[in-house]
Chains A and B, each alone.
Chain A
Amino acid sequence: MSTNIKTENLSFAYPGDEERQPTVALDGVTLEIERGSFVVVLGHNGSGKSTLAKTFNAVLLPSGGKVYVDGMDTGNEELLLEIRRRIGMVFQNPDNQIVANVVEEDVAFAPENLGVPTAEIRQRVDDALEAVGMTDFTLHAPHLLSGGQKQRIAIAGVLAMLPECIVLDEATAMLDPIGRREVLNVIEGLHREKDVTVVLITHHMNEAENADRVIVMDHGKVAMDGTPKQVFARADELKALGLTVPDTVALLRELRANGLDVPVDALTAEECADAIMKVYR
């Protein structure tokens, strides 16, 4: 596997003004994100997750250190569009990232910006809408759709760039459970079938259960980095960082504390159920 995104000793500070000190949002982050991997980024509010995401596609440029996308330095202005094409970004509020008032026009926005020929734009729009299961809504007005549908349109809009990687910054945070499930299904499908690298920033621990890797941010630094099982086994440290563990892990830990001999690293509901069943067999 090759590296998709690489940061070297990356730091970033938001400039201050007369009243405020500059805010250090990232402080010496060194990471490599493998092509085709599914990475979940956790961290409490203000730990620098969004800032980290924005440095990936050169919306923010490092104050120190470097970021490379497929070997391209994000500081190189000539590569800007190519870098942004490769790293698609989906944000929290669906209303604030939909540009056009017809679904197909919105999905076409990025390829139009990239100067893709008309016939190919059509193809890309149709493919992207199909990939997120929104073909029936091609000519709809986005503001009449549900939150989950809007986010799927936003994902389609990014897919139309044919990106290598999709970064979702709390893209499910404003959705109801049904909408969240819809969006996660789409993302998992894209990861499985199209081999897209996924970086999922979230506050929902359960969304991390199927990830290849979990990165925990704290005060602009990487505090933990490993497989979900490795990270969630360190429940006490997570608590100290203001985070919880998934409900399944919490349940198993509780059982164990009460004398039941169960493992504490079963993440999905099925694994968890199996683990408990095993004790009673």
Chain B
Amino acid sequence: MLKDITLGQYFPGTTLAHRLDPRTKLIAVVCYIVGIFNCHSAWAYGLMVLTLIASARIAKVGAKALLRGLKPVLFIIAFTAVLNLFYTPGEVLWSWWVLTITREGVRTAIAMMARITLLITGTFLLTYTTSPIQLTDGLESLLNPLKKLRVPVHELAMMMSIALRFIPTLIEETDKIMSAQKARGADFESGGLVQRAKALIPLLVPLFVSAFRRADELATAMECRCYHGGEGRTKLHVLHYAARDYAVLALYLALAIGIIVLD
């Protein structure tokens, strides 16, 4: 059951979107997000949707895969929409008891839904086309200037990539412990919230104990392989921008600036 969690899942491929430098994609996503939050009119939203569809086509990511990412946040989207629908003051369209729907409410609700949906799918498109390693490499390289401000950029990137490496291992282990506890009569699925939370204790305790042991052993193994921080470290894969990266960057920058200025 835990296996279906898609946490920044990567679909290997060789499309243009896959071959772009991860830094390009990260900057493009930032531009896209900036664009989304500056959209006001319908044509601007339309343009953002078109951009997303075009990018997804290029990346050969199907609508199904793209929308699947929305499942865990469906509740948040619905909640924000409802909140905005009933609590925005303005011209009343419909009213019953304490509930009133306003014209502005409808508009903000739709806008918020569109924003969150685009935000999530846009980010998922990034993780679908970029391997976790490329992603951390890209982040590390983009954030490199912050080293001057004593931000531990390399350490953060290393932590992130190790976390990504251990997610499947820990999920597998959780599944195993769950089965073992179920075999002893543990019940994770029924009862109230408190009861369910309590049922998790025999799951979490062994999981934590094992995670700490893993961390300890991993640290030793890393030391044995000459790990000594980011200083003087080289890379198997060196990032470099190609012509396609400049083209994509220009397009996305134009999109963000265009929307800020014109809308």
Contacts and interface: CB of A to CB of B under 8 A. Distances in A.
Interface stretch (A2-10, A17-25, A87-95): A87-95
Contacts of A97: 217-218, 221
Interface string B189-207: 0000000000000000000
Given A121-B234, A121-B236, A101 B164 contact: yes
A99 B214 contact: no
Label chain B's interface by main secondary structure: helix
B169 A161 contact: no
A60 to B, nearest CB: 10
A118 interface: yes
A49 interface: no
A85 B169 CA distance: 28
Interface string B211-245: 00110011011111111100011111110000000
Interface string A64-108: 000000000000000001001100110101011111111011001
B84 to A, nearest CB: 40
Contacts of A39: none
A59 B233 CA distance: 20
B225 A158 contact: yes
Nearest to A104: B236
A267 interface: no
B224 A59 contact: yes
Interface size range of chain A in the complex: 35 or more
B223 A116 contact: no
Q: What interface size band does chain B fall in?
A: 20 to 34
A91 B234 contact: no
A105 B133 contact: yes
Contacts of B232: 115
B226 A84 contact: yes
B169 A59 contact: no
Interface of B: 12, 131-133, 161-162, 164-165, 168-169, 172, 213-214, 217-218, 220-228, 232-238
Interface of A: 54, 57, 59, 81, 84-85, 88-89, 91, 93, 95-102, 104-105, 108-118, 121-122, 125, 139, 141, 143, 157-158, 161
The 9 A-B residue pairs with the shortest CB-CB distance, nearest first, are A97-B221, A108-B236, A96-B217, A110-B225, A89-B224, A113-B226, A115-B232, A101-B165, A143-B168
